[in-house]
Amino acid sequence: MSSPSTTVATSSPVVKWVLRLVVVAYLFLLLVWPTWFLVKNTFANGMTGIQEALADPDVVHALQLTAQIAVASVAINTVFGVGISLLLVRQRFIGRRVLSVLIDLPLSVSPVVVGLALVLVYNGQFGWFGPWLEAHGLQVVFAMPGMILATCFVILPLVVREVVPVLEELGEDQEQAARSLGANAWQTFWRITLPGIRWAVVYGVVLSLARALGEFGAVKVVAGNVGGETQVATVLVQQKYQGFEQDTAYSVSFMLVLAAVLCLVVVALLRPKEGKK
């Protein structure tokens, strides 16, 4: 795969350079240059922008809340994702194909639709389950559980999509061997299956972490968005930007982008190792 192709289709230097030029120009204008301006705006006055943003208790609270929600929903989703991947690949049951199509559904649903769907079911006044849950002391919408649910919905397919192809590739010979030697399901999972899919799980986790930190629309609908209480970092960015506190908006944005890019760098650094094995 890595050896340069010798085919005619790529050997023409003219085609090659035109292609390079078009692609690099497109990515530069769409992606790199605008992002560079975000960095430039953030550090227009050196570190003071970030320092001032971090002195605002609402900003600190929003960042903490975002981190808590991201960690909680990624943890829930990782357990679910690995479990459902094992079921989809290793088991045969009625509705398996339908389930594997449905798992990808959240990728095509608008974040606002996600929020609306959760509100219709979990709102404390008129939701299907909301009043019952609130009578039993669990407020979902406008509170932490709702924000975690919304984030879980959005990142749902990310772990599954990474793990399923690797599981299929691995096959189940080793698992069967372990089982025939007397290992129980739990031992087989920990000693054989998990080491095999470990990197896929890590990619899935890192990608969903990046996505969870940045979720905006769905969380905005189900959260109360009260500053210092139920406002996450992305909603805070919108509020500050529209409230003419653009320096704070840029600083918080920069921190969010930095976290997302760090996640991607981690994935990129891990991936080649996997290929060499």
Which 111-170 positions form the footprint of another protein (CB under 8 A)? 111-122, 126, 128, 149, 152-153, 156
Residue 98 makes contact with another protein by CB under 8 A: no
Task: Produce one character per residue of 17-32: b if its CB has 16 or more CB atoms within 10 Å, e if not.
Answer: eeeeeeeeeeeeeeee
Which tokens is 134 given?
Answer: 């609130």
In terms of Cβ atoms closer than 10 Å to its own Cβ (0-12, 13-18, 19+), residue 53 is: buried
Residue 44 makes contact with another protein by CB under 8 A: no
Which 47-76 positions form the footprint of another protein (CB under 8 A)? none
Smaller CB separation from another protein, 61 or 211: 211
Which of 108, 125, 136, 244 lies at the binding interface for another protein (CB under 8 A)?
108
Closest approach of Cβ 106 to another protein, in Å? 7
How far is Cα of residue 17 from the mean position of the Cα atoms in its chain? 35
Give 30's Cβ-side CA count (13 Å radius). 6
Which 173-232 positions form the footprint of another protein (CB under 8 A)? 175-176, 179-180, 182-186, 207, 210-211, 213-217, 221
Which of 45, 110, 191, 195 lies at the binding interface for another protein (CB under 8 A)?
110
Interface with another protein: number of residues (CB under 8 A): 100
Give one word for 137, left, alpha or beta, with left for phi > 0 and alpha for psi -120 to 50. Answer: left
Is residue 213 within 8 A of residue 256, CB to CB? The reply is yes
Smaller CB separation from another protein, 25 or 47: 25
